[in-house]
Amino acid sequence: MLFTSLEYLLFLPATLILYWTLPHRFRVPMLLIASYLFYMSWNSTLVLLIIAMTVFNYFLGDVLSRATSHKKLVFGIGIVANLACLSYFKYSNFFVNSANGLLHLVGAPTYSVTLNIILPLGISFFVFEFIHYLFDIYRGSKPLKSFALFGLFAAFFPTQIAGPIKRYDDFSAQMVEEKKLKLEYFDEGVPLIIIGLAKKILIANNLAILVDMMANTISSYGALELWIFSFAFSFQVYFDFSGYTDIARGSSILFGYRIPINFNLPFIAANTSDLWNRWHISLSHWLRDYLFRPLGGTKRNRLTVDRALILTMTLGGLWHGASWNFVIWGLYFGLCLAIHRNFKRLKPKMPALS
């Protein structure tokens, strides 16, 4: 069920009416069931995966909060299990193809193998939310005691497909709050949905026609046309993703929930560092808190910090897609961030140009 589909146009108001007419204690369970139905509209079988992962992380979070002597082991099991699930569904063919490429490079026999694995909708996002949940409990936060609350944190349908990545402490506080229907929810939420639909349908979809047409005959264009293609593709990605986020945020607000802002005028960024504070903000903050800092990003040693930056962005590139193109893309931005960081440090020491 896409946000731009007729099904969603019917699903959202029906869910909204039911939500606000039910007593407070029934709203979270109802919203959880609606979120699973939303997922099932795409694949009725793979909803079992998100339910199984929710059950696993719910009980593991409780065990982790009570663990004493083997806390690090329990935490490690949770992280490995979540990453293993993500790797199997998203990266199995990437690993197989990369191994074949390596065998071909050294002159060894290769094997034509394609694994018929369906990539579950939104798995990259809810796996990152599970990891963040376990990470924060490992650091001392309290786990969610209600399974319905934890289930809704993972499955909340506006953020199910492509985020933004939620933080459980902020979202759980909103789930337990006894909300009253307010006109301001609609004053803010409905315009956001309309803006998001306009971005996706009027701008992104039309730019996609141009991009697809040019991509099929890319070798026949000169420098000017290639620049047009590059900008068209950039704006297509931005308006598609930010439009989706606007619809997700607007839909959430109608239920009294506020999810993170994901874009803040990224094309006016002053530098690479500023860009990643404006583009896919929830992912940037997740990478900073749960990858960059644990990898040594808070150390005083400059080489350690640079290494953490490059490794974080390279893995972030792989998270975006299972191909070496994304790995190189992430590595490029990691190098850009490291160069910018060192330039910023050295700039005050440079002699002024007269």
CA distances from 108 to 94, 95, 97, 103 (A): 19, 17, 14, 5
First-to-last CA distance in the chain?
61
Helix (H, G, I), strand (E, B) or coil at 106: coil
Query: Active site includes 320?
Result: yes
DSSP at 141 = P
Matching residue, tokens 């902020």: 170
For 269, the token pair is 């960024």
Residue 163 CB neighbours (<10 A): 25
Note whether 147 and 58 are within 8 A (CB): yes
Note whether 263 and 241 are within 8 A (CB): yes
Q: How far apart are CA 83 and CA 77, in angstroms?
A: 10
Of how many residues is the chain composed?
Answer: 354
Q: How far apart are CA 83 and CA 138, in angstroms?
A: 17
**Per the residue annotation, which of 70, 132, 280, 320 is the catalytic one?**
320
Note whether 86 and 124 are within 8 A (CB): yes
Note whether 159 and 125 are within 8 A (CB): yes
Q: How far apart are CA 82 and CA 104, in angstroms?
A: 31
CA distances from 199 to 12, 122, 127, 209, 312 (A): 19, 21, 28, 15, 30
Note whether 260 and 166 are within 8 A (CB): yes
Note whether 172 and 149 are within 8 A (CB): yes
Q: Which residues are marked as active site?
A: 320
